[in-house]
Structure 1
């Protein structure tokens, strides 16, 4: 077992033993084999690190291959030819209809999803961008992980958007060239707008308090400067002496200066006042609208030669799409923040139920008589309410940064129409109602369950109807984070789909078919968060199905689909110009904003006697897990200790040590929850319940799924996840806490040198509940999995995972290696000499920290108990002699070397294996 191939071979041999003993666990046994060799000195941590590096390398290659497969072809020439094949319009009117409507709004979001280091991301992207075989060039292993800051996230978002803009420009130019060739006398009428880009990085206040108001202003000014730099460079490439450069260049210099102002610490009133006054003062170079420049470019293009005209119109199209920023921006708050803000206006005594008819009547009256108020940066600086502060910030951006680009106001956990009316009130109060798109987020189980009634009530409100017509669109947001965690991924997708259908009905019922429906699906990345892993076509239609799109089309409602590309994984699609062009190319080919209105009805929606029961049964099964203390304890058994820190927003709400054992799933955010499931070996929220839902009706369910486009898509998600899943791995983690295992390990003198440590572990773990928890969970998963396999056996696998068994064995080898490292950490932790309680932390507390993988906390306490740096008598210039101390002064160096450092190093390898396993799953969170 000197290399990974040896581990995989040994794991295969061990799997054969399950035929003799069904309860035999090959993953745990391989972990024990490695642990014995490590503790006997036959191998050391250096050797294990070599295996970890090899697994990391293979996983990086896997990630790069998957990325290329999803967006292939990546060759620019091939993509140009593929784009040419999409130009099928017979007349210019049809061509305009296809190209003057965004096929997709792409939002670059960020949460804890930056798994790879910058160098690793670049290596994966560069390898995926080429046609060559992917080899060792992608293998950047053991890299130190820089802290993921908000500034880093924002910079990566802007980099991805920049590549997307360049790719869009190329597509627009080729579309214009085609039109100029086919309709030489009419093509100037075309104003292409195939994509819009946006970001909420730096503006999302849901679940975080670390973003100051001037951070958001500073980010927006920085984005303005960056976009003006791109516009200037594009125009210089067309004509270095172009007259409009006299407008763009000084505007760029002005924007850079103002961005620098707001990049400083503005907590001091004097500093804030100076920065604000420079931004709000009249200045000829302030440039708040691109409309005059767009008109000038279009006008010049009509008189120019074709080649120059295409370049001018391409630049105008970019300005029309993005405005004075890298794209549009999305602010986000929580509904509770809005409730707190509106109560100050209508309910200072906190006596009114905001969901009541009385509250709605009060809000209607308030909206009818509200008069806009002027505001300035001082009002923004002193505002204590998060929600009001966001509206004030939007008002300042629209007044002093970009007057044209609308701003989205996303409201998380929005479950009652009064919340939207409250948002409209503040938009009206600050005079920005005509530029702000208020969008409720439907993601929690309650929101999805009652969302139809919510939409019926909201769209019946006269004030909301007036607002929607003023904006020309109404917006909703559906998400897969909390939905996928508390409902399950497949039930979440079907519930979201039904909600989208209810939106089309409510719009038709209330006479709002004259406005567009913008549906933002924040499905994020990674298997199990709504980003379907099987193909890019599935990725686009999973959150907004053909059935839902046809509902809008038949009602005559223009649909504007919007999706998120989240963090490290989503940004990889735009990490190089080649990948960005390939990604947008696939979107153009699939045309997610359009649908065939005459397509036959999918049997999945016709046979609701089967499909609805199927959905309800999966959902009920998922709820049983979520309500089970067994599931909650297993998922939280290691806290977040199996995960790398992958974002600037905290992944866990704070708790003390005593609360860890009873940690609720609600203390862990959705992204790390899904990540933990993959690290434990079984994505419960994707797979669980499908088999049980078909129990007793396998043939009929299988027949329906096989006949249905949507049903097969559900199965492709389940198969993709199941192909990587291992219930044996789930069970293996429980055996780490099995007192009987530790008591028996040195039995009959096999590992006598571990007798003392194993005895301590065995005695300590007699009171630990995790072995039983993992065994119960594994048993429940196994029963459901048997039923799933019975269902899948009836349905041909249309797209089997290549090299499935080798990938599974590779993941199994990584899991076994991690089990060996965890055992090494446990043995070292109990072998450290006993130290006295200090600062209310005992030795047992430190052991529990290690067992729960709060390793950094444990190491800090160990180093406090056994310091290696301490005052020396020679540090003091004291005249009186002393014979004491009479030792050699080594202190606790040996304890540091033999116990503390190995724990730290082993844990570092554990986290590197977490990255490798996440890569195999295609995950980033």
Structure 2
């Protein structure tokens, strides 16, 4: 029992027993074997730590292997230019981005920094063992850490794009020697919202966003300077770039300082806003100079100059473009402040549209300054004021995106247009409504029809040259299921193409930002990079835009620490962008055969509705909600700067709503419990009444096959027995019976206490009911997949499942250790309204840090004594020494803390097997 091989072999033996006893749970039995060995001193926490370390290593190697396989060169790689392609067609393809990539700060910083570096290095080469040669020590993830990580990832992406741009120029030089210097490549654009996203956050001040933008400007100018120095150390443009970088860096330090006093703010603002030749506000003159220089002379130097000019055109005076984000409610509150005292509007009414139409028409730009920004209390207005200051004093060229979350009314977009016009930024701001909630997806088509019919919006869209929308896969995937969410988003994208054509907007672009994550539960398809790109923006949707004559600008997110891995080394960054360039997501093949999934709607639409209904039943079920929240958020490591705060009430977890948990922790908990419900559930049940026809459709349809690949990938990692095993932790009968035949007599008191404590607990029944529902659906899924060919059978699949089973059993043993220690803690007097029973409940819901804080208050290791007081007078009392509670710390608190620490390390290992956090 001290080696992984022995544990895997034991788990295999136990699985055989399910043939005799179908209800037998091998995962829980292995955890009981481990628990008995641990409590009987046959195993120590040090022994378990060694096992966890080995499994951690396996998880990191698996993560590196998945990343390498995803980015491996494909056999169908396309050349940069077609054989019969002329220069004009080549330029038209590559002078507009194939993809916009957004580096977000989603809380997915699962790996410790050293682990992330090791995984990236291993994925970049062939030595997966290199992923393990690092400690797993975690540090707090701060906003500054997230921003630094985002900038590092963007720098890697920029370098990789430079390589691709140079290749494009060399290709053009080879094919069209007379014309190639006129090529202006821009295969990718990059953006970030780290430090600018105010949706649900109150910890980011306006000065934080300004300081970040100035830091980004300084860093990008320094990178431009370095690139130009490498071309020509005496280049005359260095006299502009070098002092501009220094000026931006100095101003960034100004705004990162304490600006709480009016004098400090005024000094920082005045240094930025007072005219200085070193405050570079536009790169256009520099780009023009570089391109003019490249028109003649040495071709190799010209390629390097044009590559630098292309980077400047793409990124502007920053590491990329920026996305501000607010919530629709914040905009609603802000617009009400601009109404007359006797005026009130319902933003869902037609009257609201008329009122806002008039307000947009009558709005006249107001002058603003940093004092206006510093004193503004409305979050939404503050964002527009910050944008105005950035455009005036930091970067006058680069547009800014305004993402509006939970945007379900066209009037919300008009409210944003009003503020953009009021503060003079409407020519540089792209207002982008987010469609993610079930309501927004269901009514999104009517929303788009109404919005695009508004003359004010159409005039604005023409000014900007695009209609910008955002579709989200996190909340959508949580509340309607990942497969129905993808299909609903796809239909919404098609409706956008129709609405643009119907309203005479076919001559401008559609910028579609798909904010999917890196996990299967948040819109990332794990099977291939083609699937990853096509899952959120399908070939069918692309063809809808092409047939409407609308140019498509696809945009995706690379979320947090998981997403940044794609750009963590030069090799990974180049491979990532190369795969995207090969797949050309901005283009489509109108001659491709029709996909029967979209024509056999008598089957596919019913299938979609049935899966959605099944997922909805889970969401509405108290059983599902209670199971997901059974441990609060205690199974998860903190993975971002935005803390998922738990309820302060001791019993709050019992009534916690799924809507109190964000999508990422929700999905992460499903991974940890062993079954990604929001990916798999409902597929089998939806096919049950029409199995042969649905099987035939999924086989014949490219989209259907893609759905099947996603479901199979998730199912290959899933275990319903594991879900059931977690319920047995709360089974009073299990604890009452554990010592029944005289075994483990030393635990009799603790087991009896647990049995009595849990006799009224509902969690065993909850997990059993959920496991039964999942099993019934899974049987139907297996009947369906038996009719379908497996495109990518994996011999290693069973080994991976066995490895995850061992991880789960180890954690279940550790949780039993926690529970046994918690009920054995000596009684203490109630303090601060916290009783011993409250502490036990904290441990039962894995609020371990809170529990330990209370225990250490009740049992301090050292009690203050006379020697702590510098008195002149001597005392012989106390004469027995100054005793504390060192034994209680050693026997209870330290083991509880170590067990939880090991449990959280197991969480990381399991998430690595799934390929991402949440």
TM-score tier after normalising by the smaller chain length: over 0.9
Give the distance between the partners of 1:415 and 1:328, measured in 2 at CA. 26
Aligned-pair CA distance for 1:73: 3.6
Q: Look up the match of 2:2.
A: 2
Aligned-pair CA distance for 1:190: 1.0
Alignment of 1:748-897 (within 5 A): 748-878=741-871, 882-897=875-890
Aligned-pair CA distance for 1:585: 0.4
Conserved in 2, the CA contact under 8 Å of 1:723 and 1:801? no
2:87 matches 1:92: yes
For normalisation by structure 1, the TM-score amounts to 0.98
Give the distance between the partners of 1:742 and 1:849, measured in 2 at CA. 19
Give the distance between the partners of 2:134 and 2:665, measured in 1 at CA. 23
Alignment CA distance shift 1:555-1:653 (3 Å): farther
2:34 matches 1:34: yes
Give the distance between the partners of 1:350 and 1:738, measured in 2 at CA. 59
Moved more, 253-262 or 653-662: 653-662
Aligned partner (choices 516, 523, 534) of residue 523 of structure 1: 516
2:755 matches 1:737: no
Give the distance between the partners of 1:549 and 1:786, measured in 2 at CA. 36
Give the distance between the partners of 1:857 and 1:289, measured in 2 at CA. 52
Give the distance between the partners of 2:704 and 2:529, measured in 1 at CA. 17
2:128 matches 1:105: no
Give the distance between the partners of 2:229 and 2:632, measured in 1 at CA. 54
Give the distance between the partners of 1:349 and 1:264, measured in 2 at CA. 43
Q: Look up the match of 2:218.
A: 225
Aligned-pair CA distance for 1:601: 1.3
Q: Look up the match of 2:335.
A: 342
Aligned-pair CA distance for 1:354: 1.2
Give the distance between the partners of 2:52 and 2:469, measured in 1 at CA. 44
1:722-780 CA distance string (max 9 Å, x none): 00000000000000000000000001101111000000000000011100000000000
1:846-886 CA distance string (max 9 Å, x none): 10000000000000000011011221212224455544334
Q: Look up the match of 1:426.
A: 419
Alignment CA distance shift 1:291-1:885 (3 Å): same
Give the distance between the partners of 2:648 and 2:710, measured in 1 at CA. 35
Q: Look up the match of 2:575.
A: 582
Give the distance between the partners of 1:276 and 1:880, measured in 2 at CA. 60
2:128 matches 1:134: yes
Give the distance between the partners of 1:846 and 1:466, measured in 2 at CA. 61
3-state SS of the aligned residue for 1:346?
Answer: coil
Alignment of 1:148-187 (within 5 A): 148-187=141-180
Aligned-pair CA distance for 1:842: 0.9
Q: Could you list the runs of 5+ residues in structure 2 that have no partner in the other structure?
A: none
3-state SS of the aligned residue for 2:802?
Answer: helix
1:64-95 CA distance string (max 9 Å, x none): 00000000149xxx9xx967565545210111
Give the distance between the partners of 1:5 and 1:700, measured in 2 at CA. 44
Give the distance between the partners of 1:62 and 1:347, measured in 2 at CA. 61
Aligned-pair CA distance for 1:807: 0.2
Conserved in 1, the CA contact under 8 Å of 2:863 and 2:883? no
3-state SS of the aligned residue for 2:494?
Answer: helix
1:367-387 CA distance string (max 9 Å, x none): 111100000000000000000
Aligned partner (choices 721, 732, 737) of residue 714 of structure 2: 721
1:166-213 CA distance string (max 9 Å, x none): 010011001101111211111122100100000000100011110000
Conserved in 2, the CA contact under 8 Å of 1:53 and 1:142? no
Give the distance between the partners of 2:354 and 2:463, measured in 1 at CA. 22
Q: Look up the match of 1:313.
A: 306
Q: Look up the match of 1:255.
A: 248
Q: Look up the match of 1:453.
A: 446
Conserved in 1, the CA contact under 8 Å of 2:80 and 2:168? no
Give the distance between the partners of 1:165 and 1:133, measured in 2 at CA. 26
Alignment of 1:661-700 (within 5 A): 661-700=654-693
Q: Look up the match of 1:385.
A: 378
Aligned-pair CA distance for 1:62: 0.2
2:114 matches 1:114: no
Aligned partner (choices 596, 615, 621) of residue 603 of structure 1: 596
Q: Look up the match of 1:298.
A: 291
2:497 matches 1:508: no
Aligned-pair CA distance for 1:348: 5.2
Q: Look up the match of 1:15.
A: 15
1:392-421 CA distance string (max 9 Å, x none): 000000000000000000000000000000
Alignment CA distance shift 1:300-1:268 (3 Å): same
Give the distance between the partners of 2:827 and 2:877, measured in 1 at CA. 26
Aligned partner (choices 480, 486, 491) of residue 487 of structure 1: 480
Alignment of 1:54-93 (within 5 A): 54-73=54-73, 88=83, 90-93=85-88
Aligned-pair CA distance for 1:347: 6.2
Give the distance between the partners of 2:494 and 2:648, measured in 1 at CA. 41
Conserved in 2, the CA contact under 8 Å of 1:346 and 1:362? no
3-state SS of the aligned residue for 1:796?
Answer: coil
Give the distance between the partners of 2:616 and 2:718, measured in 1 at CA. 20
Q: Number of matched residues? A: 918
For normalisation by structure 2, the TM-score amounts to 0.99
Q: Look up the match of 1:906.
A: 899
3-state SS of the aligned residue for 1:747?
Answer: coil
Give the distance between the partners of 2:432 and 2:648, measured in 1 at CA. 32
Q: Look up the match of 2:702.
A: 709
Alignment of 1:270-285 (within 5 A): 270-285=263-278
Alignment of 1:238-249 (within 5 A): 238-249=231-242
Q: Look up the match of 1:47.
A: 47
Aligned-pair CA distance for 1:888: 3.6
Give the distance between the partners of 1:282 and 1:878, measured in 2 at CA. 65
Q: Look up the match of 1:471.
A: 464
Give the distance between the partners of 2:143 and 2:424, measured in 1 at CA. 30
Give the distance between the partners of 2:477 and 2:777, measured in 1 at CA. 19
Give the distance between the partners of 2:77 and 2:699, measured in 1 at CA. 30
Moved more, 367-376 or 84-93: 84-93
Alignment of 1:324-403 (within 5 A): 324-346=317-339, 351-403=344-396
Moved more, 138-147 or 429-438: 138-147
Aligned-pair CA distance for 1:31: 0.2
Give the distance between the partners of 2:739 and 2:494, measured in 1 at CA. 63
Give the distance between the partners of 2:582 and 2:81, measured in 1 at CA. 7
Give the distance between the partners of 1:83 and 1:212, measured in 2 at CA. 46
Conserved in 2, the CA contact under 8 Å of 1:603 and 1:708? yes
Aligned-pair CA distance for 1:653: 5.8
Give the distance between the partners of 1:874 and 1:99, measured in 2 at CA. 77
Moved more, 89-98 or 727-736: 89-98
2:912 matches 1:924: no
Give the distance between the partners of 1:518 and 1:575, measured in 2 at CA. 27
Give the distance between the partners of 1:155 and 1:73, measured in 2 at CA. 30
Aligned-pair CA distance for 1:656: 2.1
Aligned-pair CA distance for 1:437: 0.1
Give the distance between the partners of 1:921 and 1:384, measured in 2 at CA. 43
Conserved in 1, the CA contact under 8 Å of 2:80 and 2:171? no
Conserved in 2, the CA contact under 8 Å of 1:120 and 1:138? yes
Give the distance between the partners of 2:471 and 2:49, measured in 1 at CA. 42
3-state SS of the aligned residue for 1:695?
Answer: helix
Give the distance between the partners of 1:514 and 1:138, measured in 2 at CA. 49
2:635 matches 1:642: yes
Give the distance between the partners of 2:369 and 2:267, measured in 1 at CA. 13
Give the distance between the partners of 2:141 and 2:829, measured in 1 at CA. 36
